[in-house]
């Protein structure tokens, strides 16, 4: 393949980018997006604060703009994210207990129902595990509604959109560590008890190197019977950037259930990471060495 999307497709995978709706009026951005990618994630537009700014009042303008662009180009869409401790609307931040639980599940049901049949994979729950060595849940208003809030969210999402793959998504889970093992144990428990979960997203926001056990970590989750996806890839620029992108790409291709890769932005100027220059295209929209290394890795073998 001569583009990221085409090369990934030849390997039975997608290659996506996170995009904000307002950049769909930047012609250089759209040219690269349409040429290279066959999947998109809304960078912010499908989050709780964007889709339910007032309780029970749902707004889909930004999400729809991204979805409609994707559909017109034949790209699939990753839904991001139904429930998260961050980017909650103010009204939810101030809720607790049964009222918050009911509001959260209603949110999942309403948004997943609105987009039913149009989303390839939903990040049903984002970043619910704690950093550090505990392997346990992160404290949040959602967690304080009861440990079963995650499975309740997955059941509601399945009922609302039976065709979407339902994912748990997190960061600093790229290697085998206490946090990724906590998630591993949750997924194993969900599979044992029949809680609907189809995939685990590994954000893969990396410094300059890839954990040595990155592929082994993806594989141990796949062995539980879920797909794995690389959902928010970016890697700080430095002498190892191209090599690190190639390593991540090769790891996904080596794991049969790794179904796709998403980078968290298109050009370095589109990144949330300021001056890290962690993406595949430079600030002028030119392909970087990391782009070529990624494309070559997709085309190898
Ligand atoms: O939309 C408001 C706007 O109304 C307001 O005037 C402006 C003033 O600050 O803020 C705008 O919101 C910003 C929003 O992006 C939309 O542009 C927020 O301040 C800003 O914090 C927010 O940042 C996003 C961040 O998530 C929020 O946590 C980034 O764009 C987005 O790339 C980032 O993405 C996350 C994933 O969802 C989850 N994993 C980590 C990843 C990187 O942090």
Q: For residue 192, is pLDDT > 80?
A: yes
Cα–Cα distances (Å) from 56 to 48, 90, 115, in that order, read 11, 13, 16
CA of 189 to the centre of ligand 1 (A): 32
| pLDDT value of position 220 | 98
- The mean pLDDT of 4-11, rounded to a whole number, is 98
- For atom 32 of ligand 1, the residue with the nearest CA is 272
Q: How far apart are CA 278 and CA 271, in angstroms?
A: 7
290 CA → ligand 1 middle, Å? 25
Q: Average pLDDT of 153-167?
A: 99
pLDDT one-digit tens code per residue, 110-130? 999 999 999 999 999 999 999
Confidence check: pLDDT of 184 > 80? yes
**Predicted confidence (pLDDT) at residue 301 exceeds the cutoff of 80:** no
From ligand 1's centre to the CA of 51, what distance in Å? 14
Nearest residue (by CA) to ligand 1, atom 43, is 272
Buried b / exposed e over 81-100, threshold 16 CB at 10 Å, is: bbbbbeebbeebeebeeeeb
With a CB cutoff of 8 Å and minimum separation 6, the contacts of 92 are 48, 52, 55, 100, 103, 104, 107, 141
Q: Which residues are CB-neighbours of 210 under 8 A, at least 6 positions away?
A: 174, 235, 244, 247, 248, 251
Strand-pair partners of 229: 201, 260
What whole-number distance in Å separates Cα of residue 93 and Cα of residue 175? Answer: 31
* pLDDT interval class at 170 (50, 70, 90): very high
**Token match 């748990």: residue?**
168
> How far is it, in rounded angstroms, from Cα 273 to Cα 41?
17
Residue bearing the CA closest to ligand 1, atom 42: 272
* Ligand 1, residues at Cβ distance < 6 Å: 43-44, 86-87, 126, 171, 203, 232, 272
Query: What is the mean pLDDT of the segment spanning 181-187?
Result: 99
* pLDDT confidence tier of residue 134, bands split at 50, 70 and 90: very high
Q: What is the ipTM of this complex?
A: 0.94
Q: For the whole model, what pTM was predicted?
A: 0.98
Distance 2 CA to ligand 1 centre (A): 32
The atom of ligand 1 lying closest to the CA of 272 is 32
Instruction: Reply yes or no on whether the pLDDT at 289 is more than 80.
Output: yes
pLDDT of 175 strictly over 80: yes
Closest ligand 1 atom, residue 265 Cα: 32
Quote the strand ranges of 85-189, DSSP E.
121-126, 165-170
Residue nearest to atom 29 of ligand 1 (CA): 272
Catalytic residue annotation: 232
Q: How do residues 47-70 score in pLDDT, each as one tens digit?
A: 999 999 999 999 999 999 999 999
């Amino acid at each position: 393949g001569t583009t990221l999307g085409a090369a990934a497709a030849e390997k039975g995978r997608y290659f996506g980018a996170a995009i904000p709706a307002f950049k769909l009026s930047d012609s250089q951005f759209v040219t690269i997006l349409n040429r290279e990618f066959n999947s998109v994630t809304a960078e912010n537009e499908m989050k709780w604060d964007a889709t339910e700014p007032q309780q029970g009042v749902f707004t889909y303008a930004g999400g729809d703009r991204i979805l409609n662009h994707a559909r017109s180009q034949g790209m699939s869409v990753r839904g991001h994210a139904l429930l998260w401790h961050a980017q909650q609307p103010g009204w939810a931040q101030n809720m607790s207990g049964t009222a918050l639980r009911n509001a959260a599940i209603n949110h999942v049901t309403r948004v997943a129902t609105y987009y039913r049949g149009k989303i390839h994979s939903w990040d049903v729950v984002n970043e619910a595990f704690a950093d550090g060595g505990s392997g346990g849940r992160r404290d949040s208003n959602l967690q304080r509604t009861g440990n079963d809030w995650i499975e309740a969210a997955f059941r509601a999402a399945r009922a609302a959109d039976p065709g979407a793959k339902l994912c748990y998504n997190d960061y600093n889970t790229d290697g085998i560590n206490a946090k990724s093992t906590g998630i591993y144990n949750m997924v194993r428990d969900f599979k044992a008890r029949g809680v609907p979960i189809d995939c685990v997203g590994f954000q893969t926001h990396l410094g300059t190197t890839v954990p040595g056990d990155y592929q082994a970590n993806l594989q141990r989750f796949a062995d539980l019977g879920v797909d794995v996806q690389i959902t928010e890839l970016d890697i700080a620029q430095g002498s190892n950037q191209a090599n690190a992108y190639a390593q991540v790409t090769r790891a996904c291709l080596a794991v049969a259930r790794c179904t796709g890769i998403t980078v968290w932005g298109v050009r370095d100027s589109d990144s949330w990471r300021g001056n890290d220059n962690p993406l595949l295209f430079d600030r002028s929209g030119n392909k970087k060495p990391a782009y070529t290394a990624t494309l070559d890795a997709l085309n190898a073998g």
